[in-house]
Amino acid sequence: MSTDLNDTHRPWLDPKQEPFIKIRGVTKRFGDFTAVDNVDLDIYKSELFCLLGGSGCGKSTLLRMLAGFETPTAGNIFIDGEAVANIPAYARPVNMMFQSYALFPHMTVEKNIAYGLKRDGLPKKEITRRVAEMIELVELGDFRQRKPNQLSGGQRQRVALARALVKQPKVLLLDEPLAALDKRLREHTQYELMNIQDQLGVTFIVVTHDQEEAMTLSTRIAVMDQGRFIQTGTPTEIYESPDSRFVANFIGSANIFQGHVITSTADHVVVRSAQDDTLQFTVRHSAELAQNTKVWVAVRPEKIRMLKDAPTTPGPNQLAGSVHDIGYLGRLSNYKIKLDNGKMIDVTHPNQTRPTSGRHLVDWDERVYLHWDSASAIVLTH
Ligand SMILES: Nc1ncnc2c1ncn2[C@@H]1O[C@H](COP(=O)(O)OP(=O)(O)O)[C@@H](O)[C@H]1O
Ligand SMILES: [Mg+2]
């Protein structure tokens, strides 16, 4: 069962699997500005792969090189075993869904979806069949005769998706596909997109700047910054095991303590805080670090336990402070705890019980004691 899972759902773990898309040393310069900087990446068949990063980090440029709208300054791209450098955009086995959707305003939903097939000169019968299939897939049956300006944002998004998929590409490139939708619709559409991808088995590469969207959608994520890949992994790997402060802060939030390694064994590291030398952290860690190495200990807000009583025995990973701020969000609350040394710590707790008489678990200015398990924190070296 577990090998089966690896083969079908985690092809990147199987050295026998050939990547469907190979990006090798790809760079794109505009004048003397480097938009994409020497990136390598393997994407496997039927993945839903996300390129995630802030605005201007080079996501769209990389996508456009895959589509054939931009030419790499250096490096090679292979799709399904073939180098695509000399293959023009229209002849590549990929299709792109643009951020703006780029629908034809004067054409009906049906005609918008049929357009590409008509231009390719497919027989009328086949066009009718394929367009009908797509309209059913994206559930636009009641809207086939409408024009784009008679549709909601979500419906327009689905027309754009159908129009891109009707050509049966092996790879669909989606540039910020949900950015134009409001929050609730975006969440709904994320699941719709995953279902459609799952049904068709087409490889999706999605560009987004929205970390929650990337976490929800992807098989794997590449986090980008300034034209480079900072870390690539599954959503769980990226969130639970970020390998830099950049990723720890970019995906979710993290409390970060700077310090130095006091002792390091095969399974854990002891770190002394640089800010407060009475403070020690024990972190379970697989790699050994030399004594005195400068490191950062990162802990996610939801991994910290908060108690009103002082611990009976002092130990590592224990902090004391007072409640500085409470953000009540209904299903959870965010607390800002001001430590005795002045540092502010974020703690998140689910609201598992209904507060009686409108009182919180703890109150403003109340004294609290924080603690986490050594397996809940991570050590970062940069
Ligand atoms: N045709 C172009 N000419 C010059 N600079 C460009 C061009 N296209 C993109 N850039 C620059 O490259 C950088 C990356 O752009 P882009 O890939 O669109 O970023 P993202 O999609 O991550 O927001 C940006 O600084 C952008 O201004
Ligand atoms: Mg972009």
Q: How does DSSP assign 89-109, residue by residue? A: GGGSSEEEE-TT----TTS-H
When pLDDT is averaged across residues 85-103 and rounded to a whole number, the result is: 89
For residues 30 and 166, state if they share a domain. yes
What is the DSSP secondary structure assignment for residue 319, as one 8-state letter?
A: E
CATH number for the domain including 69?
Answer: 3.40.50.300
Q: Are 66 and 175 in contact (CB under 8 A)?
A: no
Distance 232 CA to ligand 1 centre (A): 21
Q: What is the mean pLDDT of residues 76-87?
A: 95
Indicate if 158 and 239 belong to the same structural domain: yes
Using the predicted structure, report yes or no on whether residue 2 has a pLDDT greater than 60: no
Instruction: Assess whether 147 and 229 both reside in one domain.
Output: yes
Residues in the 5 Å CB sphere of ion ligand 2: 60
Gap between the Cα atoms of 107 and 2, Å rounded = 49
Q: Specify if 6 maps to a domain.
A: no
Is residue 305 within 8 A of residue 348, CB to CB? The reply is no
Q: Is the CB of 54 under 6 A from ligand 1?
A: no
Ligand 2 geometric centre to CA of 59 (Å) = 6
Q: How far is the CA of 155 from the centre of ligand 2 (A)?
A: 22
Claim to verify: residue 56 and residue 96 sit in the same structural domain: yes
Among residues 216, 190, 221, which one has the least CA distance to residue 205?
A: 221
The CA distances from residue 43 to 9, 62, 365, in Å, are: 13, 13, 50
Spatial strand order in the sheet of 377-380:
280-284, 268-273, 255-264, 294-299, 377-380
As a whole number of angstroms, the distance between CA 308 and CA 304 comes to 13
Let me know if residue 164 belongs to a domain. yes
Quick one: 156 and 37 in the same domain?
Answer: yes
- Tell me the pLDDT tens digit for each residue of 243-297: 999 999 999 899 999 999 999 988 899 999 998 888 999 999 767 889 999 999 9
Q: Give SS3 for 230.
A: strand
Percent of the chain with pLDDT over 70: 97
Q: For ligand 1, is residue 104 a contact (CB within 6 Å)? A: no
Does 251 reside within a domain? no
Q: Same structural domain for residues 189 and 71?
A: yes
Assess contact for 110 and 160: CB atoms under 8 A.
Answer: no
Closest-approaching ligand to the CA atom of 73: 1
Instruction: Please give the number of the atom of ligand 1 that sits closest to the Cα of 53.
Output: 22
Same domain for 163 and 234, yes or no, is yes
**Whether pLDDT at 134 is above 80:** yes
**71 in a domain, yes or no?**
yes
pTM metric for this prediction: 0.90
Asked if the structure places residue 91 within a domain, the reply is yes
Q: What domain range is 133 assigned to?
A: 18-246
Is the CB of residue 55 below 6 angstroms from any atom belonging to ligand 1?
Answer: yes
CATH number of residue 306's parent domain: 2.40.50.140
Instruction: For the chain, count helices (H), then strands (E).
Output: 9, 20
Q: What is the mean pLDDT of the chain?
A: 91
57 lines ligand 1 (CB under 6 A): yes
Q: Determine which of 103-107, 146-150, 185-189, 245-249 has the lowest per-residue pLDDT on average.
A: 185-189
Q: How confident is the model at residue 1 (pLDDT cuts 50, 70, 90)?
A: very low
How many domains would you assign to the chain?
Answer: 2
* 187 and 134, same domain (yes or no): yes
